[in-house]
Structures are given as structure tokens and as C-alpha cells.
Structure 1
Amino acid sequence: MAEAPTGRAVPRSVVRVVVLDPDDRILLLRGHGEGDHWAMPGGGVEPGETPAGAALRELAEETGITGVEAGPLLWRQRVVFRRAGRLWDSDEWYCLVRGDRSGAGRIGPVVLERPTFAEARWWTCGELGRSHETVYPRGLAGLLRRLLDEGPPAGPETLAPEIA
């Protein structure tokens, strides 16, 4: 694990969207800037917004996917990272959404998101397990395998904190 960044961190509540297609592929976006990496669509939960509402809004903004329903919250994780010169302390929730591949595979309509993401890709669990690329959260292949084998947990599971 990386060493914890120093300085005062800005707290942030975030939701990430675990988008699975009918063939159990997961949608990941390739971010760039301060290190190439793959991550799920998602972003900040706005005041008065539920995690499910934020998940659907972020999914539409970042991928153009609409007309889906938010499923259960799967995981929760504390993530500390630096972006754009700021240190963030993020309380992240992971929400399941089942959908199809229509409208995805392109970067969504929100202009502010375009500099953040370079590519969208649907991954199988096996591809994730074999990849040498940086994927967040770490261990996603195992988490996805367990989700596909056992179904969603009864309540959100707490993942180990991550310093990115």
C-alpha cells in the first residue's frame, strides 16, 4: 500500500456504480492525469441526494446510460488520494446497476468529465484477474467474482481503506 499523503484532506462522500451487463461484464472508465487507472463510473453525492440517486445521475453524466434502476449498495471504502493538487478523504459507496451495453463505451455528455476519462471498456472477471493495469478498487476481480458467485451481500461490506 502507498504511504499516506500528508496535508489536510478534504472530506467527500462518493458513490461508485458497479454496472454489469447481461453477460456479467463490468463497465470501467480509464482515468488519466495523475496516473493512468481504471475505475467505475461515479462521483460526489450532492446535498440531499441519496447514494442511489447519485449513482444514477453520475452514470448518466459519465456514460450516457439512463433508464436503469439502482440496485443494492454492495461495498463501502475509505479512499485517500491526491488529484489536481488537493488531498481528498473519500467515503465511497458502491451501488449495483444491471443494464445493457447500449449508450456505454463512450464518454458521457458532461464536458467537465471529459478531461478526466479517456476511454470506457466492458471487462470480464477473467480479464480483470489477468490485467496488469491499475484498477480501483484494488482486488476488484475477486470482489466481482464473489458478487457473481454469491450474489449481493445482505448489507454493504466494508473494504480495507485504500491510499491511492
Structure 2
Amino acid sequence: MTARRIRRSARLIVLDPSERVLMFRFDVAGRPPFWVTAGGECEPDESFEEAARRELLEETGISADPGEQIARTTPEFVTVEGEPVQADERYFLVRVPEPSISTDCHTALEQQVMTQHRWFSLDELGGWHEALFPENLAKLIEMARPS
């Protein structure tokens, strides 16, 4: 058995003033639709923080400091290109003043598979009819709230 490649990525939990989180719906041939936070793979010499800043701008049009890492997950999955990977995902929380984004900088692949975006309330995360990743997103948001 061949070891899976480690896929380093920065994920962004983008919250609007109503505490709704931005999610993107992926429609990939041969798979059920699923929703994920903004973010993506780090470039070879890029830090997680640098990737978070770049991915935030590319996927949402928002230029902001992603702040400190708030969580890390290491799921195994198959990428949209069909590669099985072992992920090393670092999460950053970004609060935005309004629920408005631009998808103008999406790559051709992103335009093809990222078919929708939506702002989810915490209540909606628990009972949504399609898969949401990370599965513990509501808990990550709760843990990141100021005490």
C-alpha cells in the first residue's frame, strides 16, 4: 500500500455580523454534493498563514488578515481531481462586516465544481441535508467565540 501524499491546506471560517458562516457547494462528477469552507492547498514554499490570506482573496475577494490558527484537522479524502490524500488542514477565523463576496478570481476548476455559495447559521449546520466539512464546524465556531 502506498502512503498518501500530505496535502497542506489553509481553511477559512468566514463569519458575517449575524454569525453565519460562508460555505461553498461542490458538485463533483460521481459524488454526492458537499459543502466546505473557503480555502485550499498551500503552495510548496507557502506558510499556512500566507495560504489563508491568498485563498481568502482568491475565493471570496476579501483582503484581510486571517489572524491566528484556531484549529487543525487531518482527514483522509479524495481531492476533486481524484487523488487520495492525507490532509493537514489549518483553520483560521475571519469576521467580515457584510455577507458579500466576489468569485471573480476562481480558477477554471473552481468555476466548474464550486457551483454555489451560501451563508449558514449555526442551527442550519446541524441539520443540513448534504454533507458539510469539516463535520465539527459548529463546534470550531463555538470554541472560537470570545469568552
Q: CA RMSD in A?
A: 2.0
3-state SS of 1:115 partner? helix
Secondary structure class of the residue paired with 1:23: coil
Alignment-mate amino acid for residue 38 of structure 2: P
User: Which of 75, 78, 82 is 2:78 aligned to?
Assistant: 82
- What 5-or-longer segments of structure 1 have no aligned partner? 1-5, 152-164
CA offsets 1:52-84 (integer angstroms, 9 cap, x no match): 221111111112222x22122111111111132
- TM-superposed deviation, 1:95: 0.8
SS at match of 1:101: coil
Mapped contact 1:25–1:123 kept (Cα < 8 A)? yes
Aligned partner (choices 6, 12, 29) of residue 17 of structure 1: 12
Distance 1:108 1:55, change over 3 A: farther
Contact 1:27–1:123 under 8 Å retained in 2: yes
Q: How has the CA–CA distance of structure 1 residues 48 and 85 changed in structure 2, closer, same or farther, with 3 Å as cutoff?
A: closer
Q: Deviations over 1:85-105 (max 9, x none)?
A: 31111100001111133541x
Q: Which residue in 2 is equivalent to 1:58?
A: 55
Give the match for residue 68 of structure 2. 72
Q: Counterpart of 1:31? A: 26
What are the ranges of 5 or more consecutive residues in structure 2 without an aligned counterpart?
A: none
Counterpart of 1:136?
133
> Tell me, what secondary structure is at the counterpart of 2:57?
helix
For the residues of structure 1 that align with 2:75 and 2:61, how far apart are their CA atoms? 26
Moved over 4 A (4+): none
| TM norm structure 1 | 0.77
CA distance in 1, matches of 2:2, 2:83: 9
Overall identity of the aligned pairs, in %: 33
Give the TM-score of the pair, scaled to structure 2.
Answer: 0.85
Write out per-residue CA displacement over residues 122-151 of structure 1, whole angstroms, 9 at most, x where no aligned residue: 111111123232100112223323333x55
Counterpart-to-counterpart distance in 2, 1:70 and 1:98: 9
Task: Name 1:94's counterpart in structure 2.
Answer: 91
Give, as a single letter, the amino acid of the residue that structure 2 aligns with 1:9: R
Number of residues of Structure 1 aligned to a counterpart in Structure 2: 143
2: CA distance, partners of 1:38 / 1:16: 13
